[in-house]
Amino acid sequence: MKNNLRILSLGGLGEVGRNMMLLEWKGEALVIDVGLSFPEENTPGVDYVIPNISYFKNNNTKVLGAVFTHGHYDHIGAVPYVMDKIGNPPMYGSPLTMGIIKKRQEEFPLQPKLRINEVNNGSKTNIGPFNIEFFHQNHNIPESLGLFIETPVGNVVHTSDFKFDPTPTNAPPTDFKKLKELGKRGVLLLMSDSTGAENEGRSLSEKTIKENLEIIFKESKGRRVIAATFASLINRLQDIMDLSESHGRKVVIEGYGMKTNLEIARNLKYIKTKKETIISAEKARNIPDGNLTILCTGAQGEETAALMRIANQKHRVFKLKKGDTVVFSSSTIPGNERSVQTMKDNIMRQGAKIIHSKMMDIHAKGHAYKEELKEMMDMMKPKFLMPIHGQYSMMMAHKELAIEQGMSEKNTVIADNGQSITLSEKSITLGKKDVPVGPVMVDGSGIGDVGGVVLYDRLELAESGIFVIVVVIDKKTRQMKNSPDIISRGFIYLRESQELLTEARKKVTQIVSQTAKMKSAKDIKADMKARMESFLFQKTKRRPIVLPVVIEV
């Protein structure tokens, strides 16, 4: 085992997001990406979900360095919460990726200074037993880099999120000659993006998207165009600004994340516009509708995002007008469907026209489809394949694709988070799922203090409400001093439930009279909770959280 490479994912397998992987050789590790995922319906109140890094506390593993494939938050977003806890190792990534990381780190002034190293396509670096060469990949954010890693057991290729786009906008196309050259060096293991593995054919080119957006601009003559997309889609933002300039439009940027990313990209010369193109929302008041584009965040129906504020008539400047063209140049993230649909309905009720990706090809995900995945395997010619990034069904589709291409099933592995993989020159073996990888919740300034019990209570509160009972007991007489106070939130409206309230008070009084002389305050609370839960269910067929408060004076 000492002469084998250990591969372990702390997030990113069997899920979309929270990507964090490590390659370990004799107790020394290389970390690949440190990402987060966003909360779902079963994690109310949670801001982010980050990888569980207790593995490093429980082992003597030394992190020599961390490499970052690109600047999306599912690959870099957990940096402020994780890096100092794993020794603040040197970090390597492209200038744009590092720029986004540095800008976000400004929100965490108490964290130690990051040890940042910028790399580019073709850069080579040595991190302990790992020699790494970075190579260009097309994605939907510039400077996405794949990794060619020379390890003591053989060469490992990590594709990063990628697609093969023959006609990208504002970025060079895939360097197939380079990929073939890497494959000729001999690839022991290919770790390849699986997010698009269930999709037939090839992914959509950004050139096609821009051509369709051009049609929308032509058909919106004399009207405002309000375009919503992800703040991280730098190339898409550039395309919309290019089209705005060619159609004589000024552009207003709305959304903190979008403004931040554009500032970073502009400093790195990834965004190029005429000096007078981008204007403030206030100056837009004097611009004719046909000469204005509003480029904003909020395509996911986020409550405080720019598009939602416009749709809800809460924006400080912009109100929807009849005839506005609202463009959703993004896909809906699973879980956001209801809020997005509600927002669309609200927009249309105000007379605006909506165009989205199901009506027209105006958005493409940045992930390879089946034919592109086949090409990657053909060029790399790996001995072993490990599908990464994506739900289990996506990774399984990737594995089946490899088998169809002639790879032996025993040479393909699908791992779960926390399941170690042992790689040697001759074999790849799945180990036990013995590393803790349960999600760590970030809630405000709290990291990891929101667990299953807290989430259960939050869901119960949302489902059934809370019923608080406050009683004051005389220590000497063991009698209740006053009538019990009852507070209800999300269960019943007390003003309209006087009969139930009267019965509940009688029941509480009865419980206290039976138990106060014989039991402590703690025991009275436990007895009251159990008996009042039963009483309320009998009366209402509901199960609110019953919270007794017993005060002895």
Task: Give me the tens of pLDDT residue by residue for the chain, a chain 553 residues long.
Answer: 568 999 999 999 999 889 999 999 999 999 999 999 876 655 555 678 899 999 998 888 999 999 999 999 999 999 999 999 999 999 999 999 999 999 999 989 988 999 999 999 999 999 999 999 999 999 988 899 999 999 999 999 999 999 999 888 888 999 999 999 999 999 999 999 999 999 999 998 889 999 999 999 999 999 999 999 988 888 899 999 999 999 999 999 999 889 999 988 888 888 889 989 999 999 999 999 999 999 999 888 888 889 999 999 999 999 999 999 999 988 777 667 888 899 999 999 999 999 987 787 777 788 999 999 999 999 999 999 999 999 999 999 999 999 999 999 999 999 999 999 999 999 999 998 989 998 887 765 556 555 555 555 655 666 778 889 998 988 888 888 888 888 888 787 666 678 888 888 899 888 888 887 778 888 888 888 899 889 988 888 888 888 899 888 8
Neighbours of 430 (CB within 10 A): 14
Structure tokens of 458? 């939050």
Give the tokens for residue 220: 């919106």
pTM: 0.82
Residue 69 forms part of a structural domain: yes
Q: Going by DSSP bridges, is the β-strand pair 154-158/144-151 parallel, antiparallel, or unpaired?
A: antiparallel
CA–CA separation, 159 and 179 (whole Å)? 10
CB neighbours of 314 closer than 8 A, spacing ≥ 6?
none
Domain boundary among 335, 356, 377: 356
Judge if 516 and 471 occupy the same domain.
yes
Same domain, 315 and 437: no
CATH number of the domain that residue 27 is part of? 3.60.15.10
| Bridging pattern class, strands 384-388 and 419-423 | unpaired
The answer to whether residue 157 sits within a structural domain is yes
* Residues written for the chain: 553
Is residue 213 within 8 A of residue 180, CB to CB? The reply is no
167 and 304 housed in the same domain: no
Residues 42 and 179 placed together within one structural domain of the fold: yes
Task: Show which of 397, 416, 447 is a domain's final residue.
Answer: 447
285 and 222 within one domain: yes
Helical (H) or strand (E) element with 30: strand 28-32
Q: What number of other Cβ atoms are within 10 A of residue 258's Cβ?
A: 24
Contacts of 407 (CB under 8 A, 6+ apart): 377, 385
- Residues 388 and 403 placed together within one structural domain of the fold: yes
Q: Are residues 43 and 136 in the same domain?
A: yes
Distances (CA, A) of 254 to 89, 138, 258, 259, 275: 35, 27, 7, 7, 18
Domain assignment of residue 455, yes or no: no
The reply to whether 456 falls in a domain is no
Joined tokens for residue 355: 């165009």
Residues spanned by the domain of 255: 206-356
Task: Collapse the DSSP code of 97 into the 3-class scheme (helix H, G, I; strand E, B; otherwise coil) and give the result.
Answer: helix
Which DSSP helix (H) or strand (E) runs through 447? strand 446-447
Q: Is residue 252 part of a domain?
A: yes
Give the number of domains in the chain: 3
- 23 & 162 share domain: yes
Q: Do the beta carbons of residue 59 and residue 65 sit within 8 Å?
A: no
Looking at the fold, whether 335 and 411 belong to one and the same domain comes out as no
Last residue of a domain, one of 356, 385, 414: 356
CATH of the domain at 522: 3.10.20.580
In whole angstroms, give the CA distance from residue 441 to residue 345.
33
522, 528, 533, 539 alpha-carbon torsion, rounded to 10°: -170
